[in-house]
Structure 1
Amino acid sequence: MIRYDLLCGDGHGFDAWFRSASDFDSQEARGLLSCPACGSVDVRKALMAPALASARSRGGDEPVTPEAESPPVSLVSGRDEKLRGLLRELKAHVRQTSEDVGERFPEVARQMHAEEIEHRPIRGRATAQEAKALLEEGVPVYPLPAFPEDEN
């Protein structure tokens, strides 16, 4: 993932994340990028300065040189990676122990809630509006966590 500082034609600055530089280029070419402040599709990369550690911020008096070795940087902390692992295990368990009812999820969940059919573990797909309606009706629903590698 790469983060770019972006600027619209009206001068509004904002940032966005992309899978790669070519992903940004593709979205820009197709006019899929827009300013969240004004909606302008005239969006371009803004000048970005790299974040470099100075000798003072590192606690020393030596200047930073290109030859200086840097420790490997993890984009995800160990704690976050452990949490993601647990969420992946939970998701796998739900998939193994429930029936996939697909697009019929809201209908089947309502029938079970109304005790029209036998209760059983189910999973499926619902739009945000359908899930909100189910919750407002008192039907308990829980989304499965989505990960970047999932096809959403």
Structure 2
Amino acid sequence: MIRYALRCANGHVFDSWFRSSDGYDAMRAAGQVTCTTCGSTDVDKTLMAPAVSETTTAPRPTGAPAETALDKLRQHVEKTSDYVGSNFVSEARAMHQGSAPERAIHGEARIEDARKLIEDGVPIAPLPFVPRQKAN
């Protein structure tokens, strides 16, 4: 995982996590990197200092407003939807076509598969965090 400091064309600055540098590039090209304040997809990386590890581990500060909001969102998503893992694309498509009962789901999809769902009118949205796999 890699964290980037980002800035939209309207000057809003925010951070976001990505699986890799290539992952960021692909999501940005697909219009899936959006400003957390205004929703603009005209977003670029900003200059940031690399994270340097120390020999001692200091406690990580918690409770930042963005971190708290993301944690609440994650808890809400996990509580109110079914995790379908790598079956997300087929489940979303089946619900959209009426061959499966509608319900709230979350899971994982490759960018090209998510783009195809959007092109086909299937209502989906990326989550600002990587889903945790649930133990069965």
Give the alignment's TM-score, normalised by structure 1. 0.45
The structure that has the greater radius of gyration is 1
Query: Which protein has greater RCO, CA pairs closer than 8 Å, 6+ apart?
Result: 2
Question: What TM-score do you get using the length of structure 2 for normalisation?
Answer: 0.49
